[in-house]
């Protein structure tokens, strides 16, 4: 579903803007993925392959089952964007990497997905700092990551 839920109960202005932000982010991601003829999940995986990665590592990072990654990477392989090879250290592990074409598609995707860049570009440097601090506090994140 492209658009998350907008609570039916009385919603504060802040909640409403937060929701708009999430919606806009998701929509921009989907459009950027479609612009390079990938699904959102495929773009998500391909985007993480700037470095080689083990299949299991990807599944852990993305919080999904390993069989899911097998399927998605299988499709990326079929498109010629990635390849897999056995790890020399451990024969059970298979390492995924992007082909040259995969790199090119990932780069086009990055250029197309300018949501955060565009949104933050509408703020001054000082405003960006304030926003970062407020969001960290709201998310209960430590100031240094």
Partner DNA sequence: TATTGTTATACTCTATAACTATA
Partner DNA sequence: TATAGTTATAGAGTATAACAATA
CB atoms within 10 A of CB 106: 20
Which segments within 1-145 are labelled E, that is strand? Answer: 53-54, 82-86, 94-98
Cα 69 from chain centre: 14
Q: Which of the 8 DSSP states describes residue 89?
A: S
Of the candidates 24, 26, 28, 42, the one whose C-alpha atom is nearest the C-alpha of residue 111 is: 28
Is 42 a binding residue for DNA by CB under 7 A? The answer is yes
Of the candidates 31, 25, 17, 21, the one whose C-alpha atom is nearest the C-alpha of residue 115 is: 25
Residue 5 near residue 18 (C-beta atoms within 8 A): no
Cα 78 from chain centre: 21
| The one segment of 15-23, 73-81, 101-109, 112-120 that binds DNA by CB under 7 A | 73-81
Minimum CB distance to a second copy, residue 145 (Å)? 7
| The one segment of 22-30, 75-83, 85-93 that binds a second copy by CB under 8 A | 22-30
Q: Which does 99 bind (CB under 5 to 8 A by kind): DNA, a second copy, none?
A: none
- Of 31, 37, 50, 108, the residue at the interface with a second copy (CB under 8 A) is 50
Q: Whose Cβ is closer to a second copy: residue 16's or residue 90's?
A: 16
Is 71 a binding residue for a second copy by CB under 8 A? The answer is no
Query: What is the per-residue binding string for a second copy in 72-111, x denoting contact by CB under 8 A?
Result: ----------------------------------x---x-
Interacting residue ranges for DNA, rule: CB under 7 A: 1-2, 39-42, 54-57, 59, 63-75, 84, 90-95
């Amino acid at each position: 579903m492209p658009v998350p839920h907008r609570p039916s109960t009385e919603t504060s202005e802040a909640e409403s803007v937060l929701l708009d932000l999430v919606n806009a982010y998701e929509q921009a991601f989907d459009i950027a993925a479609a612009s390079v003829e990938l699904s959102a999940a495929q773009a998500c995986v391909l985007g993480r392959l700037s470095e080689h990665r083990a299949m299991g590592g990807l599944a852990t990072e993305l919080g999904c089952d390993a069989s899911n990654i097998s399927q998605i990477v299988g499709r990326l392989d079929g498109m010629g964007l990635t390849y897999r090879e056995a790890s020399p250290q451990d024969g059970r592990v298979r390492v995924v990497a992007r082909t040259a074409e995969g790199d090119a598609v990932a780069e086009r995707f990055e250029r197309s997905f300018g949501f955060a860049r565009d949104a933050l570009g509408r703020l001054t440097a000082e405003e960006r700092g304030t926003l970062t601090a407020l969001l960290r506090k709201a998310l209960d994140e430590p100031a240094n990551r």
